[in-house]
Amino acid sequence: MRSSLKDVAARAGVSVRTVSNVVNGSASVSEKTRARVQQALDELGYRPNLAARSLRAGRTGLIGLVIPEIHSPYFGELAGLLVEAAQRRSWTVIIDQTHGRADEERRLLKGTHAPIVDGLIISPWALDASELSEQAGPTPMVLLGERDPRRVADHVAVDNVLAADEATRHLLETGRRRIAAIGPQPELRNGTAEQRLAGYRRALHRAGLTPDPALEVPVPTLHRTAGARAMEELLDRGGPAPDAVFAFSDELALGIMRTARDRGVRVPEDLAVVGFDDIEDGRFSNPSLTTVSPDKAQIAERALQCLADRIYSPGGTVPPQRITVPHRLVVRESSRPAGNGSRSAAS
Amino acid sequence: MRSSLKDVAARAGVSVRTVSNVVNGSASVSEKTRARVQQALDELGYRPNLAARSLRAGRTGLIGLVIPEIHSPYFGELAGLLVEAAQRRSWTVIIDQTHGRADEERRLLKGTHAPIVDGLIISPWALDASELSEQAGPTPMVLLGERDPRRVADHVAVDNVLAADEATRHLLETGRRRIAAIGPQPELRNGTAEQRLAGYRRALHRAGLTPDPALEVPVPTLHRTAGARAMEELLDRGGPAPDAVFAFSDELALGIMRTARDRGVRVPEDLAVVGFDDIEDGRFSNPSLTTVSPDKAQIAERALQCLADRIYSPGGTVPPQRITVPHRLVVRESSRPAGNGSRSAAS
DNA sequence: GTGGTTGCATGCAACGTTGCAATAGGGGTG
DNA sequence: CACCCCTATTGCAACGTTGCATGCAACCAC
């Protein structure tokens, strides 16, 4: 059985309250008593009971992270960074997966774990901002990568329109003209895909090109398989083949390159590919993948900062924040103009 | 403010205890009262306070998962499966990362979160079984992928020796003779790498070959970068080049293939590659990766079953279990004998 | 010496929940 | 009618912790 303050107090011959004071340093304790209590603490290996502590304090020190899939490389990297950022603040993270399903998002938002967490970080796929705000309880919440036009909660994301625009412009600058966009997701309500599509079209317009609807290929998910299928579909359609693809995620891009290889389409000679997310796989893929790299560490840090602000200033009337984190385009082999050499170290 | 049993009781005009009985179905309640209480519960949107509940019960419903890195594909996939298996048992998972560092493993084992979790699932890298048992408290614990010769705790893993043997035999059967082993980790204490090395040597011996120490390349980590470096080192050494590599993880294998491409070594024609873990990247890599596929879903399920057994039978005198989960060799492009066609769908 | 201040230690109560024991009411049995 | 049993409901206490108020002694200034 684990020992409690009472046990320690008995052993040290002081009151429970004094032990608590030593543990928390909350009141002044004489050097002599402190030493005696400390010894008792060590001997019994005292560990505070979190349940009791949070029952008193009304806080648990737990943060809920609600993401579509832990095993997806992007969310995996992000989750790792969030766990570390949380650790720096003495918080613990609970991770839940929604698989992008609306009912799961609703359930997790309302509460399977809600009563236990002090704050919630959610990356919604199936719900749009207004439904999110309806479902949400009083728990502080931060949205990741969600459009949130009504500003229902704090919100951290890259500028998706700008990033997609830059990615497309890069393809245009290397001489590509028939640029496909693989990744629109009509099923989803979170707006991210729409923003990337808008950025893609904007870049084409600026270059004096008219977006060809036949080159915009929707996908059911952002997985590699979906990318592979979408590419097959695009190639099978007949008509002039694309000379470049802007994929809305690195995973899609990797699936696309897989199909390209199967069909004998050379990357980047016949087809340039750009992805989004900068997952590690893309640095080691063959060819290595050009991508939009969001500053994930900063996403994690800023999201937690938002939560901290709300948790520690309870009466908070601070309006919902909208935070844009930086991104940069990382050019690798998959979009290098021919003749630029294919050899490269991972960067 | 969230409402408590007291609020609900006041609204329904019954005692706190009766509301508790309705919520938990723990005693008989008349149909009439139940209906009235239920209505009050719904109106107030009552959610039980987990802190109070676990203070009474002495359980928190939280399980700690201690792994080297969440963002590594293997542990990411495993974590996802564990979270789901836990959900089926109404448990919640807390994930911590050790980065393979001994001090972090010790810290997490002893307690940053230990006082709050009902059980611990740990995948140790830096600590060996005996040190693990010294550090561990009274919390039930399951080891993943650890050798544990002294049987200090429950233990779930594949048969690493057998699996490595089969992987190597596969390379031998496709006519390879100079097979390198990339992945020994002298720094680590968990025994996994040693077991795989043993299996590799056993297969060579059975084929009448003598393991060549020059072909056994240690690595500092299991990351892609380490694989890429190890392969560079192997190629730079001079001497006869290997015609196959057994990599102790898929990530290493992907790094190895990256270097092969940079150096103009064709896979699988010049070099066959086999990995370990069956991560998703390997199914979509170019070429796709032959690998040993552990049954991850079963690892997750069995590990939780072990914990459940110990948590729910407190006086448990059950000796530590040793559970071996099945694995299978999945042959893909990276080890196909030449002439066998290079085109393939992901499997 | 008196009154006030400071430093240290303590006791009580409460957070929201549930185990236990007890109570009140109703129906059946002898 | 007295008794018992069963069901429905209740009150009390406790889990381990911390906020608040208080007690107690020693110290300082006047």
pLDDT tens digits, B171-201: 999 999 999 999 999 888 778 999 999 999 9
When pLDDT is cut at 50, 70 and 90, the band that residue A315 belongs to is low
ω before A268 within 30° of 0 (cis)?
yes
The values of phi and psi at residue B276, to 5°, are -150, 125
Contact A275, A327 (CB under 8 A): no
The answer on pLDDT for B346 being more than 50 is: no
DSSP state of B111: T
Residue A313 clears pLDDT 80, i.e. is over it:
no
Most confident by average pLDDT, A187-196, A273-282, B150-159? A273-282
Residue A137: pLDDT above 50?
yes
Comparison of pLDDT for B130 and B161, the residue scoring more: B161
The answer to whether strand D lies under 7 Å from the CB of residue B33 is: yes
Residues of chain B contacting A111 with CB distance shorter than 8 Å: 47
Checking DSSP bridges between strand A327-330 and strand A290-294, what pairing results, if any?
antiparallel
How far is residue A114's CA from residue B87's CA, in Å, rounded to a whole number? 15
Residue A291 has pLDDT above 80, yes or no: yes
pLDDT at B28: 83
- Using CA atoms, how far residue A157 sits from A316, B48, B164, in Å, is 22, 34, 44
Segment among A40-44, A216-220, A256-260 with least mean pLDDT: A40-44
- Residues linked to residue B330 through DSSP beta bridges, in sequence order: B291
Structure tokens at B112: 């940053």
Q: Above 90 in pLDDT, residue A342?
A: no
Residue A339 pLDDT greater than 60, yes or no: no
Spell out which residues of chain A touch residue B285, defining contact as CB-CB under 8 Å: 285-286
Return the minimum-mean-pLDDT range out of A4-8, A231-235, B135-139, B325-329: B135-139
More confident residue, B343 or B283: B283
According to CATH, the superfamily of the domain at B57-158+296-326 is Response regulator (3.40.50.2300)
pLDDT at A115: 62
Average pLDDT over residues B307-317: 76
Whether B55 and A60 lie within 8 Å, measured CB to CB: no
Residue B201: in which H helix or E strand, if any? helix B192-206
pLDDT of residue B326 exceeding 90, the answer is yes
Whether the per-residue pLDDT at B341 is higher than 70: the answer is no
Tell me which long-range contacts B18-27 makes (C-beta under 8 A, separation of at least 24): B23/B48
Domains A57-158+296-326 and A160-294+329-335 alike in fold: yes
A151 Cβ within 7 A of any nucleic strand D atom: no
* Confidence at residue B342, expressed as pLDDT on a 0 to 100 scale: 42
Q: Find the nucleotide nearest B4 (Cα to C1′).
A: C16
Q: Which residues contact A279 (CB under 8 A, 6 or more apart)?
A: A73, A74, A77, A250, A251, A291
Q: Which residues 155-214 of B are in CB contact (within 8 Å) with A? A: none
Give the whole-angstrom CA distance, residue B10 versus residue B7: 5
CB within 8 Å of B28: residues ≥ 6 apart: none
**How many CB atoms sit inside 10 A of residue B308's CB?**
17
pLDDT at B344: 43
Q: What is the pLDDT of residues B199-258, one digit of tens each?
A: 999 999 999 999 999 999 999 999 999 999 999 999 998 888 999 999 999 999 999 999
Least confident of A110-114, A244-248, B6-10, B246-250: A110-114
Query: How many CB atoms neighbour CB A314 within 10 A?
Result: 8
Strands (DSSP E) along chain B, which ranges?
A: 62-67, 92-97, 119-122, 141-144, 154-158, 179-182, 216-217, 244-247, 272-276, 290-294, 322-325, 327-330
User: Which whole number is the average pLDDT over A70-80?
Assistant: 94
Of B2, B47, B284, the CB nearest to A254: B284
What integer pLDDT is reported at residue A125 of this predicted model? 85
Is the pLDDT confidence value at A343 over 50? no
pLDDT at B313: 72
Question: For chain A, first and last CA: distance in Å?
Answer: 52
Residue A68 near residue A75, CB atoms below 8 Å: yes
What per-residue confidence (pLDDT) applies to B293?
98
Residue B135 token pair: 């550090």
CA distance to partner chain A, nearest, from residue B328 (Å): 21
Per-residue pLDDT tens over the stretch A77-106: 999 999 999 988 888 898 889 988 888 888
What one-letter code names the amino acid at B202? R
- Closest by Cα among A116, A112, A85 to A97: A112
Domain ranges of chain A: 5-47, 57-158+296-326, 160-294+329-335
Tell me the mean pLDDT in the region B254-282: 95
Q: Which nucleotide, over all strands, has the C1' atom closest to the CA of B30?
A: D8
Q: Are A276 and A196 in contact (CB under 8 A)?
A: yes
Q: Which residue has the higher pLDDT, B149 or A207?
A: A207
The 3-state secondary structure of A232-269 reads HHHHHCCCCCCCEEEECCHHHHHHHHHHHHHCCCCCCC
| pLDDT greater than 60 at residue B54 | yes
Question: In which band, very low, low, confident or very high, does the pLDDT at A45 lie, cut at 50, 70 and 90?
Answer: confident
Segment B63-88 shows an average pLDDT of 93
B51 contact residues in A (CB cutoff 8 A): 50-52, 54-55, 60, 116
Classify B322 as helix, strand or coil. strand
Angstrom CA distances, A75 to A71, A252, B96, stand at: 7, 15, 15
Q: pLDDT tens digit string along B258-267? A: 999 999 999 9
- Closest listed residue to residue A71, CA positions, set B70, B255, B140: B70
What is the CATH superfamily name and number for domain A160-294+329-335? Answer: Response regulator (3.40.50.2300)
Each residue's pLDDT tens digit, B81-113: 999 999 888 888 988 899 888 888 887 877 665
Q: Which CATH number fits domain B5-47: 1.10.3720.10, 1.10.10.10, 3.90.1150.220, 1.10.260.40?
A: 1.10.260.40
Specify whether the CB–CB gap between A235 and A265 falls below 8 A.
Answer: yes
Region of poorest pLDDT, from A108-112, B153-157, B288-292? A108-112
- In which band, very low, low, confident or very high, does the pLDDT at A59 lie, cut at 50, 70 and 90? confident
Asked if the model's pLDDT at residue A231 lies above 90, the reply is yes
Query: Cβ–Cβ of A60/B73 closer than 8 Å?
Result: no
Q: What is the pLDDT of residue B314?
A: 58
Task: Provide, as residue numbers in chain A, all residues whose Cβ is less than 8 Å from the Cβ of B228.
Answer: 284, 346
Once rounded to an integer, what is the mean pLDDT over residues A204-223?
Answer: 95
Average pLDDT over residues A173-192: 91
Whole-number pLDDT of residue A167: 98
Residues 40-99 of B with CB under 8 A from A: 47-52, 54-55, 60, 62, 69-73, 76-77, 79-80, 83-84, 92-97
DSSP codes joined into one string, A184-205: --TT--SSHHHHHHHHHHHHHH
pLDDT band at A224 (very low <50, low <70, confident <90, very high): very high
Does the beta-carbon distance from B225 to A281 stay under 8 Å? no
Taking each helix axis as running N to C, give the angle between helix B250-262 and helix B224-236, from 0 to 180 degrees, rounded to the nearest 10: 50
In this predicted structure, the answer to whether residue B345 has a pLDDT above a threshold of 70 is no
Cα–Cα distance, A201 to A165 (Å, whole number): 8
* CA nearest to A221, candidates A193, A191, A197, A263: A193
Q: How far apart are CA A237 and CA A258, in angstroms?
A: 18
- What interhelical angle do A5-12 and A16-24 show, nearest 10? 110
* pTM listed for this prediction: 0.87
pLDDT for the residue numbered A314: 58
The answer to whether B244 and B271 have CB atoms below 8 angstroms apart is yes
Confidence of residue A133 (pLDDT cuts 50, 70, 90): confident
Chain B residues in contact with A283 (beta carbon < 8 A): 224
Name the minimum distance, in Å, from the CA of A35 to any CA of chain B. Answer: 22
Q: How confident is the model at residue B115 (pLDDT cuts 50, 70, 90)?
A: low
Span A318-336, average pLDDT: 93
Q: How confident is the model at residue A341 (pLDDT cuts 50, 70, 90)?
A: very low
The pLDDT value recorded for residue A189 is 78
